[in-house]
Amino acid sequence: MGQGEEKPEEITQETRLAALRQAFKERFGLLPQFISRAPGRVNLIGEHTDYNGGFVFPVAINRTVLMAVAGPEEGAPVGQVRIISKDYDKEAVFNLNQLDKAPEAERWTNYVRGVAWALGQRGLLAPGSLPGARILLESNVPQGAGLSSSAALEIATALALFRLAGFPASAVNRPQVALACQLAENGFVGANTGIMDQFISALGRTDSALLIDTRSLDYRAVPLGFADRSLKLIAVNSAVPHRHDASGYNQRRAECEEAAKFLANFYGKPADSQLRDFNLEELLGVEDKLAPVPFKRARHVITEDARTLKAVELLEGGFANPADLATFGRLLGQSHESMRDDFEITVPQVDLLVELAWNLPGVIGARMTGGGFGGCTVNVVETASVEDFREKVLLEYRQQTGLDAKMYIFDAVEGGTILE
């Protein structure tokens, strides 16, 4: 295994499924009825636009939560869920008829409890109507790295609950499920996140990124054609832990709202207008009136929406013009600069990772991805340069920061599925 690289993609899904079924049998004495599977994600472009009504362009990645499920054990109270995380080697029990928050030691079950609760809240599924379940889950989505292991866990849970209730997968309204899972994260777990993560985990498409209008929830799959173009999608985890408090994120949200309110008032637009509703020209029209910080935040969001739509346009045009691929890459670079200078959510280590990538021939584009203050970069790299990338970027990064970055090569995969 190369330095700094994790290669669980060499462990095929078939192997993981077989091991999970076996472990389920050992633990519960029978085979699971089905396995629910949902992917993590990496966002190609469109950062911090989701709570501003804007556009995001994520990819569902070949790192997934696998959740093996059977009905409750005989004699168990109605609605009992016995759940084990194979990764944590921890077991917990709760009841679908009494969905309270978990004690601190079982905090990870809040994602599962929260989804059951939110499906009920949204009127999609009455958790109390289910007999209960035995669940064994396993995941290879890196946790807390900004690749959305939490959304993968939520979507896998939601699909499992629908399957337990007897709904065929085709009858599940996936955008509604994504909204319910977002509610679980916001209203039950207590993390203030947008709709992107759950949406892409539920609706991702093979070899494609999904353009999502986070306000209307219109979406379309845009084929990436990376294999045909000899390109690889690479994420690098900076190993700088996410800042644990949510203050940076909440502050950015507030600053964006302040800018949107100011713009709405100035241009006589509806009071609930979002930054999505304004263009750069309108923003520049208030440059000397709006406070500098909300102005910069708004400039990031407004230009990021434009970059996202432009990136999609170039892809959908099949990079017809010889310069289009480089233009596409430059949009990623500009996105990073905007996050660094205007939105101020990068950290020096992540800036360095991006800079090292850009210095390498064969790198089409590189930027930070995810919420910020640490986490991952996303890179589009020519296949022939991947080894070079591994050696030079990771090594130089370690020399300069003392940190061991991890590199992941991703494929774009299908959103959540039920494996019978």
Rounded to 5 degrees, what angle do the CA atoms 372, 378, 379 make?
150
Beta strands in 315-416 (DSSP E): 363-369, 376-382, 406-410
The question of whether 197 is a catalytic residue gets the answer: yes
201 in contact with Mg ion (CB under 5 A): no
In terms of CB distance, is 112 or 418 closer to ligand ADP?
112
Applying CB under 5 A, among 80, 150, 237, 335 the residue interacting with Mg ion is 150
Q: What count of other Cβ atoms lies within 10 Å of the Cβ of residue 175?
A: 16
In terms of CB distance, is 150 or 157 closer to Mg ion?
150
> Which one of Mg ion, ligand ADP, none interacts with residue 338, CB within 5 to 8 A by kind?
none
In terms of CB distance, is 64 or 150 closer to Mg ion?
150
For residue 135, what is the DSSP state?
Answer: E
Contact stretch for Mg ion (CB under 5 A) within 143-151, 161-169, 220-228, 326-334:
143-151
Which amino acid type is present at position 83?
I
Under DSSP, is residue 125 helix (H, G, I), strand (E, B) or coil?
Answer: coil
**Nearest alpha carbon to residue 308 among 345, 343, 277, 335:** 335
Q: At how many degrees (to 10) do helices 110-121 and 149-164 cross?
A: 60
> Which one of Mg ion, ligand ADP, none interacts with residue 87, CB within 5 to 8 A by kind?
ligand ADP
> Which one of Mg ion, ligand ADP, none interacts with residue 221, CB within 5 to 8 A by kind?
none
Smallest distance from ligand ADP to CB 189, Å: 8
In sequence order, the 6+-apart residues with CB closer than 8 A to the CB of 104 are: none
62 in contact with Mg ion (CB under 5 A): no
- Tokens standing for residue 152: 């993968």
Contact stretch for Mg ion (CB under 5 A) within 29-37, 101-109, 149-157, 166-174:
149-157
d(CA 185, CA 202): 15
The residue from 197, 277, 305, 342 that is catalytic is 197
> Which one of ligand ADP, Mg ion, none interacts with residue 85, CB within 5 to 8 A by kind?
ligand ADP
d(CA 282, CA 274): 13
Smallest distance from ligand ADP to CB 153, Å: 5
Smallest distance from ligand ADP to CB 326, Å: 31
d(CA 355, CA 374): 15
The residue with tokens 């079924």 is: 21
How far does Cα 63 stand from its chain's mean position? 11
In terms of CB distance, is 65 or 366 closer to Mg ion?
65
Q: Which helix (H) or strand (E) holds 38?
A: strand 34-43
Contact stretch for Mg ion (CB under 5 A) within 148-156, 175-183, 217-225, 336-344:
148-156
> Which one of Mg ion, ligand ADP, none interacts with residue 108, CB within 5 to 8 A by kind?
ligand ADP
Active site residues: 197
Give the residues lining the site for Mg ion (CB under 5 A): 150
